[in-house]
């Protein structure tokens, strides 16, 4: 009896060790970085700046922001130097959004163009590991080849900042599960068709990460039947904001907004970009990238509106600033 128990226990630990080894050894789906030499040009750098600083809010995670001011403007000299998302914010580990300035030691100055493109669109780190999917690579998969090349050309123009961050440390078993998030981009991705308003809008919404923030999530998974329905909470110490319902529900979303009203809502914040954004208390705290997105051209905002308007309406009344209802 004792003996068979020992054998059973031994067998279980062998199986467990085997399982653990399997989990450690499993590689995410990936392919080698493309052998690319991206030729920089003014057009590419400008386009890259538009994606980084305006549309995709890469600053939101990779740059130091000043949340004592409305919209959290980037702190001068700290663009792309990296930030840390602590476990205390409800994440399964301490996640570093890395330094992506061209500093060769602490940033990505030593990376090849192909390695940067692969990290952005396919979620694979330089060492072949799966990046934590808070980095929106599953959305950036749809980014056109020309757009991601432009981003690389832009990143190479940033002033290098020396800022060493701790390595991302993800809890068990999440580090195993995220290995299935990366997917190689199989075919060339053509640029979006600007003449097709709806499809152009879809592209902008995807790359702009609107769904990530405006869809509630359960256990880290977005609730697909609530897409654009808002209700996602963002917390910083002592601060909270909840994303708005931007689905076309007439009562609780933007169903009654005209395109003109939509454009005006963004235009409200343009002067903050030009003149500096004001100090705000918790009642005005927001993670909505108003400062960035207010700089989108009317053509782009119009296309975004056109796309949002044809999405399924989601009935979901949201208080964006709980405890400060008058601010809405």
Instruction: Name the residues that contact ligand HEC, by CB under 6 A.
Output: 51-52, 56-58, 60-62, 95-98, 100, 108, 116, 119-120, 125, 131-132, 134-136, 151, 168, 205, 208-210, 213-214, 234, 241, 243-244, 246, 265, 286-289, 293, 304, 320
Closest separation between CB of residue 175 and ligand HEC, Å? 9
Q: Report the C-alpha gap between 94 and 187 in whole angstroms.
A: 34
Task: Indicate the residue among 30 and 320 with the shorter CB distance to ligand HEC.
Answer: 320
Q: How far is the CB of 21 from ligand HEC (least distance, A)?
A: 22
List CB contacts of 81: < 8 A, sequence separation 6 or more.
Answer: 62, 63, 64, 99, 101, 107, 161, 163
Query: Shortest distance, CB of residue 184 to ligand HEC, whole angstroms?
Result: 16
For the CB of residue 4, give the shortest distance to ligand HEC in the complex, in Å: 44
| Intra-chain end-to-end CA distance of the chain, in Å | 70
Tokens encoding 30: 């990936």
Distance CA 328, CA 322 (A): 10
Q: Closer to ligand HEC by CB, 16 or 84: give it.
A: 84
Considering the complex, state which of residue 102 and residue 208 has its C-beta at the smaller distance from ligand HEC: 208
Q: What is the closest distance, in whole angstroms, from the C-beta atom of residue 119 to ligand HEC in the complex?
A: 4
Measured in whole angstroms, how far is the alpha carbon of residue 165 from the centre of its chain? 19
Report the DSSP pairing between strands 233-236 and 93-97: unpaired
If the CB atoms of residues 208 and 302 are measured against ligand HEC, the closer one turns out to be 208
> Based on CB atoms, which residue is closest to ligand HEC, 161 or 288?
288
Residues, the chain = 328
Three-state secondary structure call for residue 218: strand
Report whether 123 contacts 138 (CB < 8 A).
yes
Our CB check for ligand HEC shows the closer of 8 and 40 to be 40
Q: Dig out the tokens for 247 from the structure.
A: 């689905």
- Structural tokens at position 207: 């790359």
State the minimum distance, in angstroms, from the CB of residue 22 to ligand HEC.
21
């Amino acid at each position: 009896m004792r003996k068979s128990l020992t054998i059973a226990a031994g067998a279980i630990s062998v199986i467990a060790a085997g399982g653990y080894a399997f989990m450690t050894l499993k590689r995410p789906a990936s392919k080698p970085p493309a052998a690319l030499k991206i030729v920089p040009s003014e057009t590419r750098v400008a386009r890259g700046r538009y994606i980084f600083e305006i549309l995709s809010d890469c600053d939101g995670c990779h740059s130091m922001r000043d949340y004592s001011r409305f919209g959290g403007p980037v702190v001068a000299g700290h663009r792309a130097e990296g930030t840390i998302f602590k476990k205390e914010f409800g994440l399964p580990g301490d996640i570093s959004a890395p330094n992506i300035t061209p500093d060769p030691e602490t940033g990505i100055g030593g990376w090849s163009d192909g390695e940067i493109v692969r990290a952005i669109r396919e979620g694979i780190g330089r060492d072949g590991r799966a990046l934590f999917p808070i980095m929106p690579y599953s959305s950036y998969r749809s980014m056109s080849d020309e757009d991601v090349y432009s981003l690389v050309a832009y990143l190479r123009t940033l002033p290098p900042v020396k800022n060493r961050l701790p390595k991302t440390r993800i809890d068990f078993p999440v580090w195993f599960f995220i290995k299935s998030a990366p997917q190689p981009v199989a075919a060339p991705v053509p640029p979006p068709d600007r003449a097709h308003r709806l499809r152009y809008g879809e592209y902008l919404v995807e790359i702009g990460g609107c769904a990530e923030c405006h869809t509630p999530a359960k256990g880290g998974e977005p609730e697909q039947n609530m897409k654009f329905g808002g209700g996602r909470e963002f917390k910083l110490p002592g601060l909270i904001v909840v994303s708005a319902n931007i689905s076309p529900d007439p009562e609780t979303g933007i169903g009654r907004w005209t395109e003109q009203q939509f454009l005006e809502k963004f235009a409200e914040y343009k002067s903050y970009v030009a003149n500096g954004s004001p100090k705000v208390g918790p009642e005005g705290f927001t993670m909505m990238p108003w400062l960035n997105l207010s700089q989108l051209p009317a053509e782009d905002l119009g296309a975004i509106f056109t796309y949002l308007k044809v999405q399924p309406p989601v009935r979901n009344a949201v208080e964006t600033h709980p405890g400060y209802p008058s601010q809405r």
